[in-house]
Structure 1
């Protein structure tokens, strides 16, 4: 199946400035993400790094990536993808997968799954992924974004709140019993959202012109803009979430240790 991959790589991260250039096993992080994209098997000319910084541009070009410079003033990743699609003249029905430049451990099969899920659902303009939550602490944790879907596998709502709310278990049982319920028969009801997205180009164009929605502002979840304006989001289920990306110096140290241990194992 034909689709595009865009890897947004911003220099200006508040918690870890310049992180796309942070070295992991002697290579910049953005190189590792580029490798994950190549592992999908799609043609190299369909994979692009999108950056707003000349330093990242030069490094990516040096290791052979296709790179496009984008506006430094974009407020969200969706707008950056829309600009890339416009600059490169991609057709309205083309599918674009957004692979964040700080996800060096993202499995290629998940990138492919996001694209396949959108291609299979002609009603949806976006596709994303989710996995079961089997830990009651995650159900309650606001940093764990939950998604509820309809019977067709399309998102009804995303929230930091514990949705769906189990009226009987959450209000009548002791916490230990709730935890048992969550790890047993009730677990399939709760889905953790995995922030990997595939878009149709015409949806990207529409989103870039739509106003921020009240729910998006309230929950601080960009995907709620699409639902607010009636854009359907297809959700594919996987058994578990991919390894966490790099947001902080601690995350970077963890990823560096992971790659170093793999090198030692291979040797």
Structure 2
């Protein structure tokens, strides 16, 4: 993979974009950098880029810090052409960073997902600007290590082998284990669960990054809204954009999960968050 094969659509004022570029450089790559606010892509280039990513046009529109709502872009009746026109007229609406390599193209939010696009990743730990390490997630089954970690935190393990569930083991680039997490997906809804940060890895922002990466994987699988049930971490999840909701407002598929039906206490708080990146 040569540097000429790799491009990043970059906003240097964005921490996620800077972290992604730093990881490319840590991997020995000096990519072609397109500061798209200075040199925006043409409408056709933008259309082709979104097609290459294989995502809906709306998935690449940034809401935070943009005129998204002022322009009425939350109107679901708008066509792809209308959304493209808005992004061309207002490049700040283009989410960032977008990275293109021979392995594909992707919106790299969180920045850890840039590792999906690299032929090889560094084997030395590397911290983001905020001091939390880049994470690698690997799908796992109900391993003894996973079960022991959940049991140590008093989290349910009885339903790990049931359908519709995906679980991951998280490590740093050097392979040091830092935690676990998973989700159950039911159509556009996902229940995040079994989230554990190893005791020795706490206090470094790993929990936040783990939840972001887990949420991204749920989104990639087709989920549009994430739910989480907790007895003692409500403030943590609120800091990640989740909001407490009444169980009566949750979809039937989430209410029917064993986590809500029997495995977690009725006093546990249910929170939800729209999966936008």
TM-score when normalising by structure 1: 0.28
TM-score when normalising by structure 2: 0.27
- Structure number with greater CO (CA < 8 Å, separation at least 6) is 1
Structure that is richer in helix per residue: 1
